Structure 1
Amino acid sequence: MPGDTNIRTGRCHCGAVHFEVALSDGFSSIRRCNCSYCRMRGAVVVMAEMGGVNILKGEDMLTTYRFNTRTVKHFFCSRCGIYTHHQRRSDPNLHAVNVACLDGVSPFDFSEVPVMDGINHTNDTGKPTRRAGTLRYVPSD
């Protein structure tokens, strides 16, 4: 498991985009989502407050993707296509950051990752966010 330092650096795959992030709650907020986009993207994310993601290099290389309600900005490198972070729909004051982009961190560092029910998103249902399940990683010997 990565250390609990809340300030992390990260980058996209090709190195065109470098950023620094202040994690809101360390790795305690780790999660995945089962909505159509997240299911295909497969990223494990952690949270940062609005303003907690500071692009150090390559801001001009970032592009955005919006779907469905078009309210969420999903940021990714226009050169290598790697998703770095997005502004959350259920709480626009938070960014979700791709842990695979953080230096020294891998999604496989976490044995269990909660999966949130984005198919039945709280903004659509008016109900509290529901946990859909748990993603488990069990390394082989």
Structure 2
Amino acid sequence: MSEDLVEYPVRCHCGAVSGRFKYKPGKVIAWDCNCSDCNMRKNTHVVVPEHNFWLTMDCPLEEATILYLWGTKTAIRRFCKTCGVLPWYRPRSNPDGVAITMHCVDWTDGGTREAPELEIKTFDGVNWEETIKSSSIKQESKV
């Protein structure tokens, strides 16, 4: 199936933190979470399996970012040291995946294609334990 996937670039505002990921063509499903972190940052994200994500940076991720862990410390967030943007992170909902910040993606890849259709689903992160059981966030991120 990986040959059917489309490749997209993702980066922070200044471009120091950058990567690419593969996602199924057509409709992109993004998650709008209301946990305290996502709500404050207005983070809407697309979750992809770790094997469909790779870095395109000139330096190691650890050098260009600052680590932030909170709560259960399952979600791993690395913010750009220069501009402060978080283009992706390891989500608590999918610790074997990568959550790509939707607004950090160039969906047209420099104008070489049309942007895909976007569907935004809600994840009740305030009630995380109950929501993870009934949400499709784990199944829909398996590309």
State TM-score, norm by structure 1: 0.73
Task: Choose 75-84 or 17-26, whichever is displaced more.
Answer: 17-26
Cα shift at 1:129: 3.6
Aligned 8 A contact 1:46 1:97 in 2: yes
Question: How many equivalent pairs are there?
Answer: 123
Secondary structure of 1:115's counterpart equals: strand
Amino acid at match of 1:128: K
Q: Kindly indicate whether residue 85 of structure 2 is the aligned counterpart of residue 82 of structure 1.
A: yes
| TM score, norm. by length of structure 2 | 0.72
Q: Which has the higher contact order (CA 8 A, sep 6+)?
A: 2
* Residues 36-86 of structure 1: per-residue CA shift (max 9 Å, x gap): 111001111111101322111142212321111111101221110001111
CA distance, structure 2, for counterparts of residue 25 and residue 46 of structure 1: 13
2: distance between equivalents of 1:14 and 1:114? Answer: 28
Consecutive unaligned residues of structure 1, counting only runs of 5 or more, are: 132-141
Measured after TM superposition, the shift of residue 21 of structure 1 is 1.1
Higher strand share: 1
Cα distance 1:25–1:116, how it changes in 2: closer, same or farther (>3 A)? farther
Residue 128 (str. 1) matches residue 133 (str. 2): yes
- Paired residue for 1:114, among 113, 121, 129? 121
Q: Segments of 4+ in structure 1 off by > 4 A?
A: 24-27, 109-112
Runs of at least 5 residues in structure 2 that lack an aligned partner in the other structure: 109-115, 137-143
Read off the aligned partner of 1:118 and give its amino acid letter.
G
CA distance in 2, matches of 1:26, 1:87: 24
**Cα RMSD for the two superposed structures:** 2.7
